[in-house]
Amino acid sequence: MSGKVLVLNQDYSPLTVCTVQRAFLLVFLEKADLLEADQNEELHTVSTTYPMPAVIKIKNYIQVPYRGVVLTRQNIFKRDHGLCQYCGIDGDLTLDHLVPRSKGGKSTWNNLVTACKACNAKKGNYTLEEAGLVLKRPPFKPSYIMFLRNNLGAMKKEWASYLNAPAVA
């Protein structure tokens, strides 16, 4: 039994993703309702067949503090899909400060982008304009949901309507 289950809060907002085992337990303990079953899989026991959970919804609303995505090197790479934001290649990556640190640039979501070492070297202590580099996409602070969406690998089609995005698989 593998695979992941999307967990929604009582108000249908996405909370997290859990294992199939955990989802079964939550439903079994009546802490969550099964909203969507996996359309391709079932769980067979000796005597019964159970639907394989794909989306469950927690019965009692869980107060969640604002959850931002932690600013780390890996998370910036993930946000940028592991591609240099200047030339688009996917190897030899590092982080680049748009406004160089020497010019007061901070380490923030909006000032850090994934860059290959060649572009990083070209940029050096220059600003974008000075270095003659153009960003493929302006950097942004990812929302938790976007982060979930981007980092689950292939998203199950049963999740799409709850995450408000087209399914990958």
Torsion, Cα 67 72 76 78, to 10 degrees, reads -80
Q: How far is the CB of 123 from Zn ion (least distance, A)?
A: 9
Q: Give the Cα separation of 54 and 19 in Å (integer).
A: 10
**Residue 24 vs 86, nearer CB to Zn ion:** 86
Query: Which residues of the chain form contacts with Zn ion (CB under 5 A)?
Result: 84, 86-87, 116, 119
**Residue 120 vs 156, nearer CB to Zn ion:** 120
**Residue 89 vs 146, nearer CB to Zn ion:** 89
**Residue 121 vs 167, nearer CB to Zn ion:** 121
What the block records as the tokens of 13 is: 């907002």
Q: How far is the CB of 128 from Zn ion (least distance, A)?
A: 13
Q: How far is residue 48 from each of residues 19, 44, 52, 133, 145, measured CA to CA in Å?
A: 21, 6, 12, 61, 35
Q: How far is the CB of 130 from Zn ion (least distance, A)?
A: 17
Q: How far is the CB of 89 from Zn ion (least distance, A)?
A: 5
What the block records as the tokens of 92 is: 């030899």
What the block records as the tokens of 81 is: 């899909």
